[in-house]
Structure 1
Amino acid sequence: MAQSTTGSLAQAQSQSGDLFARDRVVAVRDRPRPDYEALGVPVGTFMAYPRLQADAEYNDNIFAVSNGADGDWIVRLKPEISLESGWSRHALAAYARATISRYQDFDGENSEDYGFGATGRLDATRGSNVAAGVDYARLTEPRTSSNAPASTREPISYDMSSAYLAGTRSSGRVKLSARADSRVYDYKDGVTLGGTIVDQDNRDRTVSSLTGRGDYAVSPDTAVFVQLTGNSRDYDTATSALLPARDSEGYEALVGANFEVGALSRGEIAVGYISQSFDEAAYDEISGFGARAQLEWFPTQLTTVTTTASRTIEDAGIAGTGGYLSSAVGVQVDHELMRNVLLNANLTLAKDQYEGIDRDDDRLTASVGATYLLNRVVGISVAASHFEQSSTGRGGGSDFDVNRLSVSLVAQY
């Protein structure tokens, strides 16, 4: 006799304890590998995981220019340590990491990035929890960024501080969640080869957002949801004496579905409307179709194919425009050739359409790589990637491409 929907729901809930769990299959990258996982160092009821990665990379266009490209070898050291609780309920974690980059010929590109942060989760009941996190990072803006100013002697660096507070409650078929985020950006001024200051204060801003979401399980494997996010983007200063600051308020309204199809695929698809309105009349409102999606396909137990798509509104760091519509689609393939040999390939296409100026940017990123885990302490990775940008219109964009080859050695404990 066929089982009723209510009976199926009850059975699924009794087995997993969560009607909204989509964990029937483990993706290649997430699969446990006990013989190759770090043991960690006990610190009371916590475990500490130290890690050091050393990269050797060749980049054939380090300044991301259209003509006269310069190539260079880069060595990067990436020390990191994380601390994780081992409690049966609740969770607490912290991390500290750094990236130290040294160029062989162009030492003006050298950088020292670092960051640290902590997250915690309080499990109030079986289906309810509250989570929070804080982070701080000193970062270097890549030369390939469309917002990076051209012709600065050194790449632009900036500080980013972020914090979030989130809560989730599940009861039967219904799950409600909310999240508040805040990010503060503080950019450092650049200097041209001629010694002229390139003011970056006009990019300093605080971005705040509040998201609410409601999910309803229509079956053990499928849930529908509504999600609404409101945001506020507050800039510290104007872009120039003639152009006002890009303060704005906006929202994203999405409806979608979250699902799992047996052991074959799972994912989440959402579509809706996005809008960003600026306080000053100098900038036009940006609005239109919005979307976010991620689909995982498991053709075999050893292969995971992940497809992503998005359409969002992003801030611009270019005079004359408040922001742009960013559309992106990507596909990544991960394959477990052997238990300790992983292969991967990625292809991403993106398009940025600026509001208020005549400029569209098209970007393509393609990469292939492999990871060989020698044992639980040492691993080696190799990768090759290609990035290209083509810009149309009279808004100051450029056409260029960048190719990279890299070898990484990872030591962990």
Structure 2
Amino acid sequence: MDSLQEVEIRNPNPTTLEVNPTVEPPPEPVRKRRTEDDPYAALGLGIGGLTVFPVLRAGIIASDNPASSDTDRKSDVGVRLRPSLRITSDWVRHELLIEGDGDFIAYEDMSENDTNDASVLSRLRLDMRRSTTLVLDAAYELSQDSGAENEVPNTAIGNRTDQIISQNIALTHRAGRIAATVRAGSDWQYYGDVDLAGGGKEDNSDRDYVEPIASLRVGYEDSPAFQPFVEAAYVPRIHFDKRDRNGLERSSEGYRFGAGVAFDPSPLWSGELALVYALRDYEDPELETLDVFGLDGRVTWRPSELTTLDLILATGLNETASADSSGARTYIARLKAAHDLRDNLTTTAGAGLTYEKYQGTGETELTLRTNAGLLWRMNRWLAWTLDYDLIYNDSNVPGNDYYENRVTAGIELRR
């Protein structure tokens, strides 16, 4: 049961209306051989009842526009590190999952455009009774936006660094064919300051907020093939500063409703789709109420043991610092594919679209991200990697259009 959020997708098994999820990679393709018989499968490190899977990708990256510039395009090369860690439990009851990954780029000449992205998730599932499950999770996400984004000044030097800290508790109880999940938690959003050309700094502390969440989901589990559900969530946003830089009260009441179906009719198909409606009503009367209607969900298709396709959809409402806008309606669609050409040769490809339209100002931003990769394993521990990424940004704000090509070649070390 996977679900999505307002802007990014983060947790492996969130409820449909969970706020601020991050996009997770599609599951690894099912191999023809069992893991213990596969000479290229990672074995991990056994520590008590836990298995640890560390991975480090390191390589050289070449970019034709690391500054995300519309008119002054300059290329550069650098070093790219992509560490990741996965810890799973091997318990008879209960389950523990810890996942973390990062993507760090350091350029040779344009160090102000170095990027740092990272995320960490921990989830503990406790089987209280046969029909009752308690899930505790916590997550951290570090991300960056450049001056080419609508919410970052064009005169910004380098990137704006944002952080999200999340924690949730969910209790699920099944009575016959009815399953009900009650969830409570919060997301803490922090926006970094930005250095500006010519001196000075943009202070973004007035944008920081906490977003509590309380949700109820009720599903009818007639069969594993199709399980319809409805869900409602209350998600207010409380800004730490009562008024922002424009003198507006940005705190708001938020509501989100959904109806959909979780399905797993065969080994070929699984996923969850829901129609969602979200509404945000702001404390300041000058800010108009903002709402959005769309799709949330994830569909996984496994046409063969060697191929996996993963589609993610998300709809949400984003914040803004503009005095003339309440916020932005956001729509996300991402498709990822993985195929094993051989037991030790895997190809990957993906494409993602993010569309934002700001209420009041009419500003729009469409971002396309595509990628293709090749992973050639020498043995269980070492692989050669080759990746290509294209980022294309189309905005009706002058100076915010840009495109960037990246090529990364390196190695992967794992245990």
TM-score range, shorter chain: 0.7 to 0.9
- Cα distance change, pair 218–200 in 1 and its aligned pair in 2 (3 A): same
Which is worse superposed, 128-137 or 92-101? 92-101
Superposition pairs of residues 193-342 of structure 1, within 5 angstroms: 193-237=197-241, 238-240=243-245, 242-342=246-346
Q: Which moved more, 1:165-174 or 1:269-278?
A: 165-174
C-alpha spacing 1:171/1:337, structure 2 compared with 1 (3 Å) = farther
Q: 2:51 aligns with which of 23, 26, 47?
A: 47
In structure 2, runs of 5+ residues without a counterpart are 1-25
Greater CA drift, 87-96 or 319-328: 87-96
Q: Deviations over 1:55-82 (max 9, x none)?
A: 3222211121211112221212244445
Q: Which residue of 1 aligns with 2:28?
A: 29
Which amino acid is 2:28 matched to? R
Instruction: Tell me how far apart the structure 2 counterparts of residues 177 and 144 of structure 1 sit (CA, whole Å).
Output: 41
Match of 1:178 among 182, 185, 191: 182
**Alpha-carbon separation, structure 2, partners of 1:111 and 1:328:** 22
Change (3 A) 1:378 1:155: same
Q: Which has the higher contact order (CA 8 A, sep 6+)?
A: 2
Note if contact 1:252-1:290 (Cα within 8 Å) is conserved in structure 2. Answer: no
Deviation at 1:217? 2.5
> For residues 118 and 354 of structure 2, what CA distance do their matches in structure 1 show?
28
1:259-311: CA deviation from partner (whole Å, max 9, x where unpaired):
23434423322113221111112211111323213223333333223333232
Residues 29 and 307, structure 2, Cα contact 8 Å, conserved in 1? no
Q: Which runs of 5+ in 1 are unaligned?
A: 1-26
Mapped pair 1:167 → 2:166: no
Q: Which residue of 1 aligns with 2:380?
A: 376
Cα deviation 1:158-187 (Å, max 9, x = unaligned): 343221112222344222212223121223
More moved, 230-239 vs 145-154:
145-154
Offset at residue 157 of structure 1 (A)? 2.1
TM-score using structure 2 length: 0.83
Give aligned-pair identity as a percent.
Answer: 23
Q: What residue number does 1:5 align with?
A: none
Counterpart secondary structure, 1:321: coil
> What is the DSSP-based 3-state SS (H/G/I as helix, E as strand, rest coil) of the residue aligned with 1:202?
helix
Please state how far the C-alpha of 1:340 moved relative to its aligned partner.
2.2
Superposed displacement of residue 138, structure 1: 4.9
RMSD across aligned positions (CA): 2.6
Between 262-271 and 138-147, report the one with greater CA deviation.
138-147
Q: Is the 8 A contact 2:146 2:158 kept in 1?
A: no
Shift of 1:326: 0.9
In the alignment, the residues of structure 1 paired with residue 319 and residue 334 of structure 2 have an alpha-carbon distance, to the nearest angstrom, of 21
Runs of 4+, deviation exceeding 6 Å: none
**1:345 equivalenced with 2:338 (yes/no):** no
Q: Is the 8 A contact 1:55 1:77 kept in 2?
A: yes
Structure 1 or 2, whichever has the larger Rg, is: 1
Name the TM-score, length of structure 1 as normaliser: 0.84
Is residue 73 of structure 1 aligned with residue 77 of structure 2?
yes
Q: Residue 218 of structure 1: SS of its match in structure 2?
A: coil
The 3-state SS of whatever aligns with 2:244 is coil
